[in-house]
Amino acid sequence: MKYNVLGKTGLKVSEIGFGGEWLEHHPEEESIELMKYAGEKGINIIDCWMPDPKSRDIIGKAMKGNREKWYVQGHFGSTWQNGQYVRTRDMKYVKPAFEDLLTRLQTDYIDIGMIHFVDTLEDWNLLQESDFLKYVFKMKEAGVIRHIGMSSHDPKTAAMAVKSGLIEMLLFSVNPAFDMLPSGQDLDELLKESYHYDNQLAGINTERADLYKLCEEYHVGITVMKGFAGGRLFDEMRSPFGVALTPTQCIHYALTRPGVASILCGYDTKEQVDEAVSYESATEKEKDYASVLSGAPLHSYRGECTYCGHCKPCVAKLDIAMINKYYDLATMQSEVPESVKSHYLLLDHTASECIGCKQCESRCPFGVQISDRMKKAAELFGK
């Protein structure tokens, strides 16, 4: 395993990391074993944005006895309210949620305290001089967090944070689909309307490219989320480029961006861990994504769910990300696989319970028309 210095933090992190958001969807012992297995393969960094007790307990139990071998990104502002994820800056929830993180991870410190999900300049400006940010600084001064980071999907907001000098690292969404936008266009604008690529518009978006360079210039390390675009890039029928990429190609793309130290992959099985770690011994031909994309019929990724979970909380308590994942898996086949349908039907709440309020759509970073997808999922699965 190769290890890279994560910007100003000085931490030497494995270039293949662990994104923990799927841990809760497996039996506890299975997920604990999966994380331990990843550690044995040399992975030493994990992101815990998840506020649910099960995910946090799993990570804590998996690290027990070898806490010093893991670097944890723990988030301020990701809270668990009435059984659901809620992003908030309200200290009434923020402080107890962070204290719960320490307790469940069975630790007295977090390596990187993350300012959670800052996607607008308005939100960034509101954070300044706020009790929220003062609390983050207080935890840093007390040694409860060793370093300060931030998560974002928006290049303008992320660039503002980098230039401020307040953050030492950035958790950012990086993959070819998100990056290959027309130069000079703003991601927020593209999310508001249907957009179609053509070959003249191929190439990385200027603001995103500038952000990566800015991070390198300011010595702000990047850890990558959504490197596989929710797995969509692996299937040419679902890929926004009309061609399929491999995990190795996606990993190589992310790791070759300026400032990037680690890509945090999501894992369901040990085989997926092995596949990600096999990047370390991959040939240059296996890593080559450029030749695949150079002649690809480009299409917009807009409206595609990457299963990130920011659509929560749902007033009907739907697990929107999982419903979307099962819907996408089902529609890849001519007939709905029984295994997919059975997993869908085991959900506590199914798509037919959606009330169409569309509150989730206002929180989606990628402009997914969630209400319409819930209707389609209900029709497809018959419930």
pLDDT in tens, the chain (383 residues): 999 999 999 999 999 999 998 899 899 999 999 999 999 999 999 999 999 999 999 999 999 999 999 999 999 999 999 999 999 999 999 999 999 999 999 999 999 999 999 999 999 999 999 999 999 999 999 999 999 999 998 899 999 999 999 999 999 999 887 786 543 444 444 333 344 444 443 456 778 888 998 998 899 999 999 999 878 888 887 777 778 999 999 999 999 998 999 999 999 999 999 999 999 999 989 998 877 776 666 544 457 776 777 798 999 999 998 898 888 878 866 788 887 888 899 899 999 999 999 999 998 877 889 999 999 999 999 86
Helix (H, G, I), strand (E, B) or coil at 185: coil
Q: What is the pLDDT of residue 330?
A: 82
CA-CA distances (angstroms) from residue 298 to 50, 138, 196?
Answer: 33, 47, 8
Tokens in use for 230? 């929710």
| Strands 3-5 and 260-266, sheet pairing | unpaired
Of 65, 61, 73, nearest to 18 (Cα)? 73
Q: What are phi and psi of 159, to 5 degrees?
A: -65, -40
Q: What is the pLDDT of residue 269?
A: 94
Q: What is the pLDDT of residue 26?
A: 92
Q: What is the pLDDT of residue 240?
A: 72
Q: With contact defined as beta carbons under 8 Å apart, do 53 and 97 qualify?
A: no
**DSSP string across 342-372:** HHHHTSSS-GGG-----HHHHH-TT---HHH
Cis previous bond, 51, omega within 30: no
Which residue's structure tokens are 């950012």?
A: 172
| Strands 78-81 and 84-87, sheet pairing | antiparallel
Tokens in use for 330? 């089902």
Length, in residues, of the chain: 383
Q: What is the enclosing helix (H) or strand (E) of 39? A: helix 28-40
CA-CA distances (angstroms) from residue 143 to 137, 146, 148, 187?
Answer: 10, 6, 11, 37
Q: What is the pLDDT of residue 270?
A: 97
Determine the Cα–Cα distance for residues 78 and 87; give it in Å rounded to an integer: 5
Residues 6+ apart with CB under 8 A from 162: 170, 211, 214, 215, 218, 220
Radius of gyration of the chain (CA): 20
**DSSP string across 303-346:** T------TTPPPTT---HHHHHHHHHHHHTSSS--HHHHHHHHT
Determine the Cα–Cα distance for residues 163 and 218; give it in Å rounded to an integer: 7
**CA atoms within a 13 Å half-sphere pointing along the CA-CB vector of 32:** 13
Query: Which segments within 103-168 are labelled E, that is strand?
Result: 110-115, 145-152
Of 276, 305, 273, nearest to 373 (Cα)? 305
Tokens in use for 369? 């028309």
Query: How many of the other CB atoms lie within 10 Å of CB of 126?
Result: 14
